[in-house]
Amino acid sequence: MDEVVVVPQNHVDAEEDGEDGEEDAPEAAGTGAKKKKKKKPKKKAAKTEQQSEPPRVGLSKIFPDGNYPEGELEDYRDDNAWRTTSEEMRYNERMIMQDPEQTYNNIRKAAEVHRQVRQYARKVIKPGMSMIDIADTIENGTRALVEENGLESGVGFPTGLSRNHCAAHYSPNGGDTQILQQGDVMKVDFGVHVKGRILDSAFTLTFDHTYDKLLEAVRAATNTGVREAGIDARLGEIAGAIQETMESYEVEINGKLIPVKAIENLSGHSINPYQIHGGKSVCLVKNNDQTKMEEGEYFAIETFGSTGRGRVVESGEVSHYAKMVDAPRIPLRLTTAKSLLKSINKNFGTLPFCRRYLDRVGESKYLLALNHLVAQGIVQDYPPLCDAPGSMTAQFEHTLLLRPTRKEVLSRGDDY
């Protein structure tokens, strides 16, 4: 749905007339007259806050009680069906919601930001826009709605705007002049975080109906992954179900049927606080990984499909970086590298960033220092990932939470 989300505040109902009406007082001594109490004014319902267009109203103004909407709830199946009605599991969830470090409200706020920003983005992104303008549209909305505050809340990672055979990890650097074209297939992958809880979700835009089946295949594969995910689900088996769904589709291009291939060396992943890739991978091709999903984990279920070889390689100018979670503590020879690392620690911590974000915080002439941090193993670079030139790739992604009682698809919305 492309309409701007409007969410009313919780309001206080005006009191009923019968409760506010006139009340008889005892008779006044010696007069027989009755005194009347003053009529209480009715309480006014709180005004409804509306999101602006472009979205710039911080969510705390729309949800002043700090309770944000749940995502789409799905019951666990088979051996885990008991969890939905278990009083013990319900108690566990109540305890989580009372823990300021674990409460689901943080990730739900991030999810609501993503929904509102992406619905606006889906409506306004059109061929002829520059990549930088598109990135700014998304990131400015995200920062405003999440009420960016240092490492407390903000953008979760650089906005990915990979096009055509480039599947992932392209974001425009400063000075990029590339323009979105009518025939492009563009992946829009952006994140939001609140207190380190990262919401990771992506969709694909195409303006040429030739590739509708490609998008349909990848969206269906992501939905399959979401359906099969759950506590104790084995990652290799989920991958097999994703592949089976994805590769049941074909795309007709210039009168020729092209099979859709799952990209074998890309994957979804678990998410940890302030760590976008948490250590577990949900691959897209069946394998023997017996690792299980566990209660309380967050997963980004993302799938990539291609009309090409179904395998990506690193290619192109780097934009994405992230400080390593287990970065070594080593003496740095370059004074500029020491200064840059201090800035990275202050502004991003272990959250991914891009060169535009360094520009934004006032860094300049930093490429030598940045490459030195990469060479020392302190910062990881993430070059663009591309399939064969001439092929087309698509991506869809949702973040889900394996709650004790239910699976919550946090990023689900009316648009997909």
Q: Provide the annotated binding site.
A: 169, 189, 200, 269, 277, 302, 397
Query: How would you classify residue 225: left for phi > 0, otherwise alpha for psi between -120 and 50, otherwise beta?
Result: alpha
Candidates 277, 320, 372, 398; catalytic one: 277
Catalytic residue among 184, 397, 398, 408: 397
CB 354 within 8 A of CB 319: yes
Q: Is 200 a residue of the active site?
A: yes
**From 49, 176, 302, 363, active-site residue:** 302
Sign (positive or negative) of CA dihedral 199, 220, 2, 11: negative
Binding residues for a divalent metal cation: 189, 200, 269, 302, 397
| Residue 189 among the catalytic residues | yes
Annotated catalytic, 397? yes
Residue ranges for the binding site for substrate? 169, 277
Which of 112, 176, 200, 387 does the annotation list as catalytic?
200
Q: What is the 3-state secondary structure (H, E, C) of the chain?
A: CCCCCCCCCCCCCCCCHHHHCCCEEEECCCCCCEEECCCCCCCCCCCCCCCCCCCCCCHHHHCCCCCCCCCEEEECCHHHHHHHCCHHHHHHHHHHHHCCCCCCHHHHHHHHHHHHHHHHHHHHCCCCCEHHHHHHHHHHHHHHHHCCECCCEEEEEEEECCECCEEECCCCCCCCCCECCCCCEEEEEEEEEECCEEEEEEEEEECCHHHHHHHHHHHHHHHHHHHHCCCCCEHHHHHHHHHHHHCCCEEEECCEEEECEECCCCEEEEEECCECCCCCEEECCCCCCCCECCCCCEEEEEEEEECCCCCCEECCCCCEEEECCCCCCCCCCCHHHHHHHHHHHHHCCCCCEEHHHHHHCCCCCCHHHHHHHHHCCCEEEECCEECCCCCCEEEEEEEEEECCCEEEECCCCCCC
Whole-number Å distance between alpha carbons of 225 and 398: 10
- Please say if 320 is a catalytic residue: no
Point out the catalytic residue in the list 49, 176, 184, 189.
189
Nearest-CA neighbor of 411 among 216, 277, 271, 263? 271
Looking at 114, 269, 320, 372, which residue is catalytic? Answer: 269
Beta-bridge partner residues of 395: 304
* Rounded Cα gap, residues 394 and 205, in angstroms: 9
- As annotated, the active-site residues are 189, 200, 269, 277, 302, 397
